[in-house]
Structure 1
Amino acid sequence: MTKSAPPAEHPNGAAVRRIRQRGSLVVGVDQNSFNWGFRNPRTGRIEGFDIDLAHAIAASVLGDPEKITFRTVPTARRIEAVKNGEVDLITRTMTITCERLKDVAFSAPYFRTGQQVVVERAARVTSLAAAFKGRRACVAAQSSSEAELKRDPRGTSAVRVVENQLDCLVLMQLGQVDTTLTDGSLAAAQAAQDPTVQVLDESISDAYMGVAVNRAAPDLVAWVNQVLAEYRADGGWQRSYTRWLAPTMGASAAPYLP
């Protein structure tokens, strides 16, 4: 499932040439996922772990990490944005799945994750079974979490599907849903934003995040894979993890290395 094009330092392909002629790498990102892709209210800049990776790719392709155009893309529109050429690539906590590989290409994995549950601390829920049975669940549209609950509703009384995973946190704060199923990294971000919720320790599945690219751009996939190899080797991946994710996901990055 996670197989991708081999890394290539200088693939002279059409996609890379188009980016260079344009002078900017167009990247689909999130602006609402704390520590991953979010707009810093003090600076107005979009920052986070996924954003650091996007800057590293821009630096490699164009020689300048700031030669980048961010386009915020809702969860449900990630594949569409890649397929129609609205963006060159997506760095937005996107897990690699066999179903998605029918529509887009993926880089090699850059983060290991899984599906986890967010619940209110006051509910005193301690197990996955209790988190779902007879309770109102929330997932983002076109997400792996939505696919998981379609496959196995787990006894939920209702499933609310929203545009972005952060909308689930808002609905939980409003008392309109009881349980959120989302990527484990995003679950940790929700708990960091709101101390009244918690992430259950149990994980539903094992998954890997990748950079999504148009299937017609194998040269760009190969280039991104070379960037990922260098980014990990030179410590960039670890520095970004330490800055953005260690406070909520733990000092050791070992569980999340692909």
Structure 2
Amino acid sequence: MKNVLKWPSFMLVLILSLVLSGCSTGEESSSSGGSGGSTDAKGTIEQIKERGKLIAGVKYDTKLFGLKDPASGEVEGFDIDIAKALAKQILGDETKVELKEVTSKTRIPMLQNGDIDIIIATMTITDERKEQVDFSGVYFEAGQSLLVKNDSAITGLESLGGVKVLAVKGSTSAQNIREKAPDAEVLEFDNYQDAFTALKAGKGEALTTDNIILIGMQQTDNNYKLVGGNFTSEPYGMAIRKGDTAFVEEVNSLLKSMKDSGEYDTLHEKWLGSKPE
């Protein structure tokens, strides 16, 4: 008789254990999403306001657009000033911005993971990237070119047969050069600083990326020149998490107000030496 009574009790304990275990697993699943969990239900603007600062993904190695001064630790450039202007529009204070370093390879994953609110980092708008992120309107028009030593015999794409050309991982430049100069040997580096260092060390005979980035490199070392003109169109946009239309509209509103007020022209002249044409 005792064994008969114990069997239902054992079954009850087992059932309760399974139910409680199932509840616990469900809670862990819902909370383990990190920044991609409940915070994704909120728009980026709301997150920025609750946090009290804008987190912008910017380059640290791109003179004129985003370059970190090793002495002061300050990051300066055209993209940086646009990030500050966006912080001022949303939070009323341009200093309420955190600048996080991104590279061409890391920027989209960092945006998707919630590590940054926006990418402002010399990023070309492409159909392929539009599948992963949303873009603001174009804020700068660049074009791909080549940087070589002053005494180089390279004059353009037609000179690249059998030549080692340096590029940056995750950039449209690496893809473009393979298509336009299929006989070139393309070597890819993590960032522009490493690629330029490799060029100066003789690991390649040409470096390719957007003309305005190459101009920044040339300004640091006048032993190099740009050749071949611009052989692509590279419209820069700011990248935002997919589907956040409110934030896209906010950023486009900023661009319009900066252009209407003349602030955009002032920044363009400050960093790039002339007002936009």
TM-score normalised over the length of structure 1: 0.87
1:167 maps to a residue whose letter is: D
Partner residue in 1 for 2:53: 24
Partner residue in 1 for 2:276: 253
Is structure 2 residue 186 aligned with structure 1 residue 159?
A: yes
State how far apart, in whole Å, the 1-side matches of 2:121 and 2:168 are.
Answer: 13
Q: Is the 8 A contact 2:161 2:183 kept in 1?
A: yes
1:155 maps to a residue whose letter is: D
From 188, 205, 210, the counterpart of 2:215: 188
Q: Cα offset for 1:127? A: 2.8
Percent of paired sites with the same residue? 28
Number of paired residues?
236
Q: Cα offset for 1:42? A: 4.8
State how far apart, in whole Å, the 1-side matches of 2:192 and 2:72 are.
Answer: 24
Partner residue in 2 for 1:236: 263
State how far apart, in whole Å, the 2-side matches of 1:43 and 1:181 are.
Answer: 29
Is structure 2 residue 146 aligned with structure 1 residue 117?
A: yes
From 99, 107, 112, the counterpart of 1:70: 99
From 110, 113, 117, the counterpart of 1:81: 110
The answer to which structure has the higher helix fraction is 2
Partner residue in 1 for 2:174: 146
State how far apart, in whole Å, the 1-side matches of 2:203 and 2:43 are.
Answer: 48
SS in 1 for 2:270: helix
Q: Cα offset for 1:219? A: 0.9
Q: Cα offset for 1:129? A: 1.2
Q: Is the 8 A contact 2:158 2:181 kept in 1?
A: no
Is structure 2 residue 216 aligned with structure 1 residue 198?
A: no
Q: Is the 8 A contact 1:24 1:67 kept in 2?
A: yes
State how far apart, in whole Å, the 1-side matches of 2:86 and 2:153 are.
Answer: 43
Q: In the TM superposition, what whole-angstrom CA distance separates every residue of 1:79-135 from its partner, at most 9, and x where no partner exists?
A: 1111111100011000100000000110000001111111111214323311x1221
Larger relative contact order (CA 8 Å, sep ≥ 6): 1
State how far apart, in whole Å, the 2-side matches of 1:44 and 1:166 are.
Answer: 16
1:120 maps to a residue whose letter is: K
State how far apart, in whole Å, the 2-side matches of 1:136 and 1:81 are.
Answer: 31
From the superposition, tell whether residues 42 and 240 of structure 1 become closer, same or farther in structure 2 (CA, over 3 Å).
farther
Partner residue in 2 for 1:5: none
From 66, 86, 89, the counterpart of 1:37: 66
* Structure 1 outlier segments of 4+, above 4 Å: none
Partner residue in 1 for 2:163: 135
State how far apart, in whole Å, the 2-side matches of 1:154 and 1:237 are.
Answer: 38
Q: Is the 8 A contact 1:128 1:202 kept in 2?
A: no
Q: Which has the larger radius of gyration?
A: 2
1:107 maps to a residue whose letter is: S
TM-score normalised over the length of structure 2: 0.82
